[in-house]
Amino acid sequence: MLTWFMLNFQDSSSSVMEQLIFFHDFTMMIIIFILTLVGLNLLFICYFKLTYRFFNQEQTIETIWTIVPIFILLMIALPSLRVLYFLDDSFDSHLTMKVMGHQWYWSYEYPYLKTLSFDSYMIPSSDLSNGEFRLLETDNSVVLPVSLQIRMIVSASDVIHSWAVPSLGLKVDAVPGRLNQMNFMINRCGIFYGQCSEICGANHSFMPIKLESVPMKYFINWLEKLNS
């Protein structure tokens, strides 16, 4: 999870987040290279005051500084389109979950298990145990199996919310009267935290998301325990 003075992204836990981090690093390398060249050019201009008074125009250099940025933009645009296509890829999901945003809590439902639905509220700071995180712990966690293709259907009952888990590269708006969906697969077991990412009212900062990723056998045991 995100900690103080952390400048990088959180460790990726899904293939979506891996692609986003790769694209970010690739773009940042290009930007740093351009900034270095521009900075060196400015230093050269400030240090050397020589000018060529018979200089009128130079077709070669104008052609170069027109063509080179075109190639740089293409180098950025093509991977960007690939990542966008990867994010919207609607593969065949093996598990579907429904998320509903409320003021100010989340409710979850497993559509294939009609009896399995629950609300998730933030645990007040006064009720936290040692080692638990303030403003991030919930009374009911979302439990999902690892290495399984999952579809999440998101909506809201009152105002616009946003369901987001950064380490999984997930962020989708919860809009009243509209169903938005996202597809993802978790690569490793663990506990992942998120928060509402759309200002939704007075308690916007107090509706966290806690997601637990477990192996399939533990997920089945959890379902049987809830249904019993």
User: pLDDT tens, 27-54?
Assistant: 999 999 999 999 998 888 888 877 766 6
What pLDDT is attached to residue 55?
67
Residue range(s) of every CATH 2.60.40.420 domain in the chain: 95-227
Note the CATH number of domain 15-88.
Answer: 1.10.287.90
Question: Which amino acid is it at 3?
Answer: T
Q: Which residues have CB under 8 Å from 178's CB, separation 6+?
A: 155
Please, which pLDDT band fits residue 115 given cuts at 50, 70 and 90? low
Task: State yes or no: pLDDT of 113 exceeds 70.
Answer: no
CATH number of 95-227: 2.60.40.420
DSSP 186: B
Cα atoms in the Cβ-side hemisphere of radius 13 Å centred on 46: 6
- The ranges of the chain annotated as CATH 1.10.287.90 are 15-88
Residues 90, 96: contact at Cβ < 8 Å? no
Give first-to-last CA distance, the chain, whole Å.
33
d(CA 30, CA 73): 10
Residue 154 DSSP class: E
- pTM for this entry: 0.78
Contact 222, 126 (CB under 8 A): no
What tens digit of pLDDT does each residue of 127-171 get? 888 888 888 889 888 899 998 888 889 999 989 999 999 888 889
Residue from 110, 96, 189 nearest 147 by CA: 189
Query: 223, 25, 207: which is closest to 124 by C-alpha?
Result: 207
